[in-house]
Structure 1
């Protein structure tokens, strides 16, 4: 799995644009949380490139302002860990904590 790093608020415009061509995943990860580490590991183990989803990884400790902007722009209350699936500029699926799964993403696509 090849993560794209999400490190700036400006990248969100690009993600909205990209999501018109293919679904985009944003994974909000807390590097100090064991539940987040488990959710990340589970996502990586089950990932399948053929689903056509472009994955972005956000380190919450290093980029909290980006996380806040995501919550505001996509209308999804912040959780950690959390995934958002963006299609056509809108969040069409989100999950947090133990509800995070690749199968859930694939069904939402």
Structure 2
């Protein structure tokens, strides 16, 4: 799992990976912390490209993703990208290792 902070970094990742997961995480929210733990668990058990951003540290990137991909910002929020497009997203208590795996395996 790798932290991403800028739009430029994220744009490069989209061009490097045909499929990737991104987690928008709040460092001050207990629900977000639980989502982060679930995302981390899934990433540790799965081969793939897994990234996260901390909303408080990367607000411009978080806003850019919401605008560019027309996905309302929530936190925690897991977004699955395939071929540069968001194909699935979940937020709050729906960010679970089981849900992430189910969607990852579909692509």
Give TM-score, length-normalised by structure 1.
Answer: 0.85
1:10 is paired with a residue of what secondary structure? Answer: helix
Q: Deviation digits for residues 31-74 of structure 1, max 9, x if unmatched?
A: 00011011111222344544x33111101101111000011122
Q: Distance in 2 between matches of 1:56 and 1:47?
A: 9
Among 77, 86, 95, the alignment partner of 1:91 is 86
Q: Deviations over 1:76-103 (max 9, x none)?
A: 1100110101110000110000000222
Q: Does 1:26 pair with 2:22?
A: yes
Q: Structure 2: which 5+ runs fail to align?
A: none
Asked if residue 71 in structure 1 is aligned to residue 69 in structure 2, the reply is: no
TM-score (norm 2): 0.87
Alpha-carbon RMSD: 1.5
* CA distance in structure 1 between the partners assigned to 2:7 and 2:29 by the alignment: 23
Q: Deviations over 1:5-35 (max 9, x none)?
A: 1111112221221232xx2111111000011
Gaps of 5+ in 1: none
- Count of aligned pairs between the two proteins: 104
